[in-house]
Amino acid sequence: MTQSDTIPKAMYAKKGLLLLYQMMLIRRFEEKAAEEYTKAKIRGFLHLYIGEEAVAVGVSQALKDEDHVLGTYREHGHALARGIDADNIMAEMFGKQEGCSRGRGGSMHLFDVKKKFYGGNAIVCGHLPMAVGMALAFKKQKKTNICCCFFGEGAAAEGEFHEAMNLAALWKVPVLFVCENNRYAMGTAIQYSHAITELEKKSAGYGIESSVVDGMDLMAVMNAANTAVEKVRSSSKPYFLVCNTYRFRAHSMFDAELYRDKQEVEEWKKKDPIPQFQKYLLEKQWITQAEIQAFEMKIEMKIKLAVDFAEAGTWEPLDQLTKFVYSEKNS
């Protein structure tokens, strides 16, 4: 075997370990967030991403640092995959100034301009027109960047979904629409809210190319995302990627979850993307069980430090209550 034969394998192995680490980090972060919520350290609403990690990680690895990313209120996973530090995210959820949105956004409004991460948007489908606008700006500025917009299948039932699709196609702008289809939106099964449940078909009326992928399979998401991103970047046209996934936890921490059968949830947990990818890496001999355990210990410490950082953070002074709300006169 020549050196040229071993280099790609080494590169793939290194990337695989990074992606596994990211998925495991998201999972443990979300589990810890739920714990802190029950202690009233995190207030307001909390929507967990547990079970959907392969989508955020698989799509994010295809993007460049200059690309823009928008997410829904279930965006902790996207923010972590984008590279926002767990310390700043946890501090934000604790409402501290050290948070990525200075403690003003909380769980649903994570924001980091340095990472080109523009929310955390609480209004269902409200960010799709924003994504089209950002992509239009790229086109007018003659940039090769793209805008990636994550949303759930509930948004695909909103009027703004169709408006955004229409304008994106009409203006031929570089936006990647990524639908995380977890089948229940807030609590209504997809067959009761969509006349056509094969969501990838919805873009055909606007002449937008689409594809559908198993969102529980990281490798499948990666391959689909790489293809989609390349098409958007090279053509400067929109693309619609549907990732069929499943959230293992309720819609939010307030959700009694009476709308789906517990046995169904248990069956979907057998498709958990993290152990699936761990098995893949073990079979490739790119990781050992000992290294997986080392990852778990490293992540546990990172999450502990993130909570400590958030606990030690500072509250915004009362005299700054109107800061960023009203414009200030130039001196």
User: How does residue 331 score in pLDDT terms, banded at 50, 70 and 90?
Assistant: very low
Confidence of residue 330 (pLDDT cuts 50, 70, 90): low
Residues 108-165: pLDDT tens digits? 999 999 999 999 999 999 999 999 999 999 999 999 999 999 999 999 999 999 999 9
pLDDT band, very low/low/confident/very high, at 9 (cuts 50, 70, 90): low
Residue 288 lies in a domain: yes
| pLDDT interval class at 6 (50, 70, 90) | very low
Q: What is the CATH number of the domain that holds 306?
A: 3.40.50.970
How much is the mean pLDDT over the chain? 94
pLDDT (tens digit per residue) in 46-86: 999 999 999 999 999 999 999 999 999 999 999 999 999 99
Confidence (pLDDT) at 11:
73
Q: 173 lies in a domain?
A: yes
Range of the domain at 76: 3-312
Looking at the domain assignment, is residue 323 inside a domain?
Answer: no
Instruction: Write the secondary structure of the chain as one string of H (helix), E (strand) and C (coil).
Output: CCHHHHHHHHHHHHHHHHHHHHHHHHHHHHHHHHHHHHCCCCCCCCCCCCCCHHHHHHHHCCCCCCCEEEECCCCHHHHHHHCCCHHHHHHHHCCCCCCCCCCCCHHHCCCEHHHCEEEECCCCCCCHHHHHHHHHHHHHCCCCCCEEEEEECCHHHCHHHHHHHHHHHHHCCCEEEEEEECCCCCCCCHHHCCCCCCHHHHHHHHCCEEEEEECCCHHHHHHHHHHHHHHHHHHCCCEEEEEECCCCCCCCCCCCCCCCCHHHHHHHHCCCHHHHHHHHHHHCCCCCHHHHHHHHHHHHHHHHHHHHHHHCCCCCCHHHCCCCCCCCCCC
Residue 320 lies in a domain: no
Proportion of the chain above pLDDT 70, given as a percent: 96
Number of domains in the chain: 1
In a domain, 331, yes or no: no
Query: In this structure, is residue 228 part of a structural domain?
Result: yes
Query: Is the residue at 137 inside a domain?
Result: yes
pLDDT at 8: 59
Q: Is residue 330 part of a domain?
A: no
